[in-house]
Structure 1
Amino acid sequence: MKRPCVLVTGGAGYIGSHTAVELIAAGFDAVLVDDLSNSEVAVIEGVRAITGRDVPFVEADCCDREALERIFTRYEFGSAIHFAASKAVGESLREPMKYYRNNLLSFMNLVELMHETGRRNIVFSSSCTVYGEPRRLPVTERTPRRPAASPYGNTKQICEDILRDAIAAGGGALRGIALRYFNPIGAHPSALIGELPRGVPQNLLPYITQTAAGIRDCLSVYGGDYPTPDGSCIRDYIDVGDLARAHVAAIRHMTGGADVRPYEVYNIGTGRGVSVLELIRRFEQVNRVKVDYKIAGRRAGDIPAIWADPALAAERLDWRAERTLDQTLASAWAWQKRLSGIE
């Protein structure tokens, strides 16, 4: 029997590459598309090494409609997962037009081509940033979306609206799921793929691992005076492999035909908030390394605390986070050691 195929945009990226691995392990084929603006082609070789399959890869910019249309013509797939987007909160505050142009145009091109070619199922990589600064924690899918704290977060809100409205206007031709996920961390247990930031890391854990490896002199903890138990921000840190499996669960849900609504939204997190300082201490304990850090001023676009209530994903997608924080932090350090040649 022919394996169902899924298009993965941003497939050479951090989450896209791990999702490709989980799709193939679950019995799907995957076609990966990436413009390599924030990723490396070596990641594709890592995916192929882990899966033992010659996974197709096309270097293309999803903002280029003609290039994306050629991929639709060349490959047969019924579902798509959209990761292709710029994703740094701080950068989006400095370069908002880059974020609006890239994140909105790439997604509109995908949605239009899915509709025009009769491909039905779209999973959108959304974010907990759509909740802004929530008044109550944990957040559920019924938590109101509030004004986004950054242009990046605003693009996620707008893309959710684009998908919802396109589905409503499509007369049943499209189905979509927006996965609002929290803070992905860690690496594949093989240490063949993981988070691969270019230049100075924008996310916390790569900065921790690079500091532990001696690449960075000191980690800045942005804000020590938030209204949290230790003064640092609290986030819901989810293992990237668990997050990848949520995308597989979403595809299965949409293609399974049982009680599928045209447009659905799910929080993907662990349900536990962990502070920045707690994460640093835990990383040091698990990996028996020292991380030098200092408390710096607050960073624009950050909110004090957010974590998920993932009960709906457990109920309807049969998905739950499985890996422990210790396992995830160990995988991140194993990946960094491989990158840095540390024995």
Structure 2
Amino acid sequence: MSGPKAVLVTGGAGFIGSHTCVELLEHGYEVCIVDNYSNSSPAAPTRVEKVAGRPLLGVYEADVRDRQALSAILAENTIDAVIHFAGRKAVGESVWIPVDYYDTNVGGTTSLLRSMRENGVHHLVFSSSCSIYGEAARVPIDEQAPPRPTNPYARSKWMCEQIIADACRQHPELAAYSLRYFNPIGAHPGGLLGEDPRGVPQNVMPYLMQVAVGRLERLSIFGRDYATADGTAVRDYIHVMDVAQAHRIALERLDEVTGLDILNLGTGVGTSVLELVRTVSATCGKSLPYDIVERRQGDVAELVADPGAAARKWGWRTTRSLATMCRDAWRFQLLNPAGFDDDLPEPAAVPTARSFGTPDLTTRTPAN
């Protein structure tokens, strides 16, 4: 996609969406946000503009399942491409309310595809998930691993990919990337943007951050009897700014794509939940309390990416260490102890890992 383009970002006020909007604005794109704020804050777009130093093309409160609203937004802003983040994303919650997950994730995607078709928009980057792989037979996991989703969230993402693939077959002008990223954490290094879910966090890093600032008492670690080094689940954590950069690169490379192309986004390094707790504790300078509880339905033992395909196709790899992810997440939480409900803070100077007491993990190598 040559030259500045207008991009619609669904779920653009959310954690990954807001950071991606900054990345796009800083690279000359015109950016329009659609979000229903079910798990995000209306304050996020204002912070996006402050961080990027540029205004957004538009900000709309709407649900992606509202096809009439989406079509009007696409038409009004002459959109060239869409990055689709909007959806529910918690494994545990999806087990309890599966129909809600299918309604939002699958229904939102079909609504978006129809609206794009009606308005002649033929470029799409879809926010997918490593959870599609489930209990993979081999780790690290490459894109050829067969899908084995173990929970409604993962199944909804896999269904969306199949729907997009079918749409591409029916309409050859449609080109799409599905980015299966592993576990995004961290925050923008300036401290104005980070992860601030509504209610009790459903993901481990924002939960740990709220324990660290006293909003929550202690973390529950789901299971310590997995076949891993310390018995806790192992995940491939990736900095949200690396994820944001990859979405921008995907937009730039869509002209090379025919149909749907699927890529993993990850570091290739696995970290157990207990290792993450220790690293976060070192970062914030205090031991964070936790309890070991029963396994959570739908979880798997190990999800670690083989990121080689993105490196071969794009020449792209992640650049930020686990220490940096924890440091940036902690800076956001320190500056925003009540999340986006706080007044807009001034950007913070970037401290070194040493000043935060964070162990240097930059020399860790990807698993073979």
Query: SS in structure 1 opposite 2:305?
Result: coil
Write out aligned runs for 1:11-160 (5 A).
11-55=12-56, 56-146=58-148, 148-160=149-161
Query: SS in structure 2 opposite 1:340?
Result: coil
For residue 294 of structure 1, what is the aligned residue in structure 2?
291
Query: SS in structure 2 opposite 1:238?
Result: strand
For residue 318 of structure 1, what is the aligned residue in structure 2?
315
Unaligned ranges ≥5, structure 1 = none
1:2–1:260 CA distance, 2 compared to 1 (3 A) = closer
* CA distance in structure 2 between the partners assigned to 1:27 and 1:313 by the alignment: 23
Aligned residues: 338
Query: Could you tell which deviates more after superposition, 111-120 or 303-312?
Result: 111-120
Deviations 1:285-323 (A, max 9, x none): 233222111211111111011100011111112321111
* CA distance in structure 1 between the partners assigned to 2:270 and 2:153 by the alignment: 22
| Consecutive aligned runs of 4 or more in structure 1 exceeding 2 Å deviation | 259-262
- Contact conserved, 1:104 with 1:159, CA < 8 A, in 2? yes
Query: SS in structure 2 opposite 1:319?
Result: coil
Write out aligned runs for 1:126-275 (5 A).
126-146=128-148, 148-170=149-171, 172-254=172-254, 257=255, 259-275=256-272
Letter in 1 for 2:99: M
- Scaled by the length of structure 1, the TM-score of the pair is 0.96
Overall identity of the aligned pairs, in %:
44
Unaligned ranges ≥5, structure 2 = 343-347, 349-368
Query: SS in structure 2 opposite 1:209?
Result: helix
* CA distance in structure 2 between the partners assigned to 1:163 and 1:260 by the alignment: 13
Deviations 1:10-59 (A, max 9, x none): 00011100000011112211111001111111111110100111212111
- Contact conserved, 1:86 with 1:99, CA < 8 A, in 2? yes
For residue 305 of structure 1, what is the aligned residue in structure 2?
302
- Contact conserved, 2:13 with 2:41, CA < 8 A, in 1? yes
Q: CA deviation at 1:2?
A: 6.8
- Contact conserved, 1:115 with 1:173, CA < 8 A, in 2? no
1:310–1:175 CA distance, 2 compared to 1 (3 A) = same
User: How large is the Cα RMSD of the aligned pairs?
Assistant: 1.5
* CA distance in structure 2 between the partners assigned to 1:220 and 1:102 by the alignment: 27
- Contact conserved, 1:207 with 1:216, CA < 8 A, in 2? yes
